[in-house]
Structure formats: C-alpha cells, structure tokens
Structure 1
Amino acid sequence: MKKFNIISLLLVSAFVLSSCGKTSDKANNKKEEIALEDKAIDKKEDKVEEVKPQNPDQAEGNVILHRSYPRNKGAKSFTRIVVATSQDKIVGLSIDQYQYENSTSDLKAVVNSDKDFGKGAVKDKKLVSKMENEKLYSAEMKKSGAKTSLGENYEAIANFVKGKTIGEVEAFLKDKTDKQIMEAVGKTDFESTPYLIKAIVDSAKDNKFISVGHAEDPENLTFKTIIGKGHGDNSFADCLVAMEGDRIVAASFDEYQYLEDGLGLSNADDEFAKGYADSKNVLGSKLENSDKYSKLMAEKAKSKVSIKDNFEAIEKFVSGKTVDEIKAAIASKKEDGTIDSITGATLKDTASYLQLIVDASSK
C-alpha cells in the first residue's frame, strides 16, 4: 500500500496584504515589489522560449499532480487540493485549509506573518494552516463534539479515493446524499467531507495547473509538503513533492500574496474574506493570477517569461532528480539569480524555490 504521510495533507495558506496610502501609491509599491521577483536579463536570455504546460495525454510520465483551489460558498477557510493520478486512477491526495484566527491564539501563523505579509490581515487576526496546527486544531474540534481529529478526517477521505478511478468516484457520488457519502467514507465526522470528495474529482479532471513525472510504481509513492518562503517577505509558498525512494517523481508548488483587485482564493462575500485588512487587496494564488502578475513583471523587469511558466520550468527540472542533484543546481546559481541548467526559468529567486523543494523532500 502506498505510504501517505499526514505531512502530505498540509496546505499552504494564503494571506492578505494591507494597503497603505493612496491607491496610486499602492499600485506603484506593488509594481516595485514584483520587479524584484524577475530581474531584467541580458539580450541573450531574452531568447529563451516560454515553457508551455504539458498535455498530460502526451507527456512522458505516468504520474500527474493536479493542483486546485475549490471555492465553497460562505466558507471560513480556503482549500488547497493536490491530487496525484496515474492514467485514470487516483494514487495520492493532499488537502489543507487555511483560515484566520485571533492573533492571541496558540495556533502557529503561516511564514512571513510577522513580516509584510502579515499586514494584509485584519488587526488582531492571523492566517493559519489547519494541518500545520493539526494537534491544537483537533483539540478544539473535540471540545465542540468531534470524535475524530482533523488529520484522521483527511486521511479517511484520502484512503477512500485512493486506488479508485475518477469515473468510479464520480459514479459513487451520483444520486448519493451527504449522509450516504459520509457513511461510505467511514472514519469521518467532517461535515465538509461530501464537498471535499466532489472537489477532489473536479481537481483530478482539471489540467490547468499540473506537474508530470515518472515512477516505477505509481501506487507506492510518498508525499511530503511544506510551507515556506519563496520570494521575499510579502508572500509564502506551498510545496508538495511526490517521492519514490530518494528521487523526486514530481513537485507542485505555488505562492500566495495579497494582490490589489486580483482573483482571491475565496469568494468575495465568503466569511474568509472578512479577514482582509482591505477588501480590494485579496489573498491570491500567483498561478491563478499569472496573467495579471506577469504583466507587472514585464512592465517593471522586462520579463518575457510568465510566473506560471517559470514555476513549471522549475517543476520540470526537478522531476526525476535526487535532493543532492538539486542542491548542486542551487550551488551553480549565477549573480543574477538564474541557473543555466533550468531552461525557461528566469526568476532571480529560482534557487529559493529549489530550496523549498529540497526542504520538503528532506522532511
């Protein structure tokens, strides 16, 4: 049976940046911040072609990681799902949810909450990952009458979908009541279980944000996740790696930042959005806001490669490599932050994202 680490259920949370001063000042400050992400590169680098997303039906590899952010009306948290598939079968799952808590609570805030990123939250609130605080969060759940922990609920959902084809899970959901779904899953009293299983199916069918790799035995992988720093102090990153032995089969990562008038990780009228210091500065995924974010990168840093294509180039590079091989690439970083061996990646913080993958793999 495939190893499935509770760590793999961690989700990187999103965060709100507070706005200061006039709207025009905010826009200029944001552009300056983003300019640091992708330095202007010399003419020789300008010729690098953009990395296009691979079509999973044509890609070389038998494992695909699908990343998604389902929205649930009125939700107090936002959800990150990564589903691993091989052919049409679900072979792995990682779930985490993020929500705002009182700043005085014992729950650990996401990285950079004490830096610029933390300014995006309402005063006296902080953003937390439920899985990073699994023990404390589960204790609060049990005080409210829950019989199973958060980790046990997520694990029950993962065990239910693993080994089934997408079609089999869809067929099961057809005409089932929420009660019937929860009874079938078994060890769960999580009210959102039916919603999460439906979201897992949607994620497995969604090829917008994917990473492809090859495994000798796709049904016996180990999944690890980490929340850490990627670019600067005004965002944080969520990374998942699928491993076979000492090799990384595939990696999936994204970064969350408060963006003015961006696409938020929750609906604008959800309970979660009440945690924003400024309703116009929403917590967003850089992948989901790639066009908007990349346009600012191009304006300020003359970038010719989108943030999405940069992330995909890094994911493609690490597939099949060991941690030591990735460390060697980090050591080869040039003065402008780029790494020659990673075709298509032009971010000055490329090495930081590689280190994030190394840290996740080493857990």
Structure 2
Amino acid sequence: MKFWRKYHPDIDAADPRFKQVSLIYSVLLIMTAYFAIIGTLNVTLFHAPEIAFFDYLGLILALLILRYVSQGGNFRIASWAVIISIATILLAFVHLAEGRNYSLMWVTILPPFAFFLLGRRDGSWVSAIILGYCSWYLYQLINQQVTANLGLGALFNFIEVATAQVFLFRFYENSRQEAYDQLQKTAITDPLTKVFNRLHLDNTLNAVIAQANRFNQPVSVLLLDVDHFKAVNDKYGHFVGDKVLIKLCDVLRETIRETDSVGRWGGEEFLIICPNTNQQQAIQLGQRIIENVRAEAIENDIHITVSIGSATYMNDGEDTIDQLLLSADQNLYRAKHAGRNQVLGTP
C-alpha cells in the first residue's frame, strides 16, 4: 500500500487523480532525499556552501510542498510548485557555476518532470522556455569568453539535446495518454455493443444518485429487454443475434438524451440512466425507444420489439439504489407479462 493513502483515503486506483498523486509524492520524496544528500556533500566534501544553500533551499521547498499536499492541498498547484522549485534551483546552480562543471547538463532533467506533472501542453512550453533561456545564457558566456572550455560546439550540442528531449517526452506523453485513454475506454465498454458495461453503469448510477441527493432531483432508470431474443438466435444463429444487439444499441444511442447513459446490463438487457428525470418523462423516453426500435430493420429485414420497465428515485429518505433497480426489474416483467412491446412504470 502506498504510504500517501493515509492522507488521501478517498483516492483509490479507479480515481483519475491516483497516478497524479502517486507521481507528486514520488517526485517530492526524490527531491527531499536528493537535496539533503547533495547539500551535505557540497558542504563537507566539495566545500561549496553557496551551492549547498540552494540545495537546502530545495529541501525546504520540497518539505513544504509535501506538507501542503498531505493536508489536502490542490494537486495542480502542488505540481506547479514542484516544477518552479526544480527550475529555480537548477538555474541558480547554472549561474553559480557559470556553465562549468557540466552544470547545464542538469537542466535536462526538467522536461520529464514537467511533462509528467503538468501534461503535454504546459510541459512543452515550460521546458521550451527554460531550455531556450539556458541556450541563450550559454551563448552569452561563449561571447564573453567567461568559460574558456566552452565553444559553439557545446552550444549546439546543448540545443540538440534540449530539443530532442522536448520532442521525445512530448511524443512519450502523447503515446502514454493515448494508451491510457484506450485502456480506460476498454475498461468501461461492452466489447460487443460498444455501450457502457455493467461496472461503469454501477459507478455512474452511484454518482448520479449522489448528485440527486445534493440537489434534491429525481433520477429515473429504464431497464430494457429484447422480446423473444432466444427465438432470434435459434432461427438466425448467434452471429445475427449479435448484430441485432449492436443495431439496437445504435438506436438507443440515437434516441436517448446527451445527459443519459446507456449500457449493457447483461445478456440482452440494457439499462438507461436518466438524471433529473421524473417518472412521466422516463415513460415518454421509453415510448420513443419502443417506436424507434420497432421501426428500424435490424438485419435482413428482421424487426424486433423491446419491453421496458421504468422506476424513479425520488430522494424521499426511503429509496435506495437496490430498490430502484428492483422496481425497474419488476416493471420490466410486468411489461412482458402484459404482452411485451411496451413500457411500464411503478403504478
């Protein structure tokens, strides 16, 4: 278990902030250890108290930021504080060393931290500004002949490395973000129908109900089942049956509102979550779905019908999510027993 969990018990692996928080704490711990060790070495071994001063300043800043985030501080602000602290210490070191002792080489550690903590856009321009400034500073040193062992070759080498780093880490961050987005999409999507899966529906319903409790709004759900789906599979085969479900989901996505969520509940059952929707509005949506599904040819002129059970959460202190889903399920079976191809809500 990560030690920072005790400071942020509400952030688990499913939370979008998890990676960011983990990275912030890792960077801060590295900064703390690095500045403490290097500062001590500069005092005791290299007899460079002026450089050690900035090392210990970095240590203090790292500890202050660590305290800030552990007490619930804004992670975005903490990320910027980390980058500004690192940049300040590195630039101070460059100026103190006047480009000697490979001081400019240390600036190249900034881009990975900037990209990882600030993201692609902010990481790009922050890295470009800092590395551009260092290139200009090195050029000034060469012109003024402050440092004898530096020449245009060193300047060009630094610019090449700096440019390569910016593009490399930007490419890496793009690739990582695309992979993360794809993985996240796969984790919440039903592989056949491409609508949300059961896990995401559970999380969405919990979030919608929580919001409804805060703002005293109704929430409705529609539980939908394909009528006589087994007969479709038996007559046309499971391959056609899959096409029926895929086409059905296309119709559902086109019919529901932007604020609604639809997902596969299981088999040929689908759940639609409707925030800020009362029972009458949910019934009307269910009727539109039935009409659109009935009118749409699915595969080889195959037409299907659906039965829908509707239920509404009223935030009256008695309803629960389980009761809401149970009511929708009971209404679905009432609709089937009443002849199918209809939507029924709680009487």
Higher helix share: 2
TM-score by length of 1: 0.22
Relative contact order, higher structure (CA 8 A, sep 6+): 1
Structure number with bigger Rg:
2
TM-score by length of 2: 0.23
Higher strand share: 1
